[in-house]
Structure 1
């Protein structure tokens, strides 16, 4: 009679240990999921900042009236690729910044060379006044930044 009771106790103990291990793994997955959600929000916020900076740029429309706009060097750094992808020529204090889009399939490609070059031209803590020239359809042609 002891043998079936021992088997039942061992089975119950094993099942409870398995359930506790499963519960612990699920708790860990919830923590990792929360971390990923907060990380994704941070990354998306940076992308949103680029889009926000692109939309709030002062534009010189077909009437030729420029709008004022001030950007920090850090905002310029984050906005550069978005503006370059839109086809804009970026000029900082008279120097044209040529965007370099690396080949993502080539692991030996030189990543972020355009940003390194921009860091050599701008001061991240300084403020810059922007003036933008657009085409009639609203696309960006030139963005000129001058240090205040």
Structure 2
């Protein structure tokens, strides 16, 4: 499926920014960025990409679907881990080239394949060794080795 399942975005900025038809602006690769937050506290859980089929399935089923750029395939978040994301609200930005999903997470209440609640668990810092990553959240909600034993993460 392709972006053609959604109407083409208007070149009229007032139409694009107002109420009316949802006309997502997919990039040259047919993808749109999706920021995912927890409906309870607004914490950013992950950033992903959606193609038209993933976006359509998400709207139709209420369960988050994404497009994996590394595996070049559609995936239903949590299908393997049990951490399904139920979508409570879908929002778009002013020029409709990004999506915000407000979700609740089932299962272990974790969005990251590392077992952490959020994929954003490290901070970029500078010290005497240069620019490094510092782990800010090392709490694991599940053991990734047990959950994904022979599956690609």
Structures share a fold, TM > 0.5? Answer: no
TM-score range, shorter chain: under 0.3
Which structure dedicates a bigger proportion of its chain to helix? 1
TM-score normalized with structure 2 length: 0.26
TM-score normalised over the length of structure 1: 0.27
Greater strand content = 2
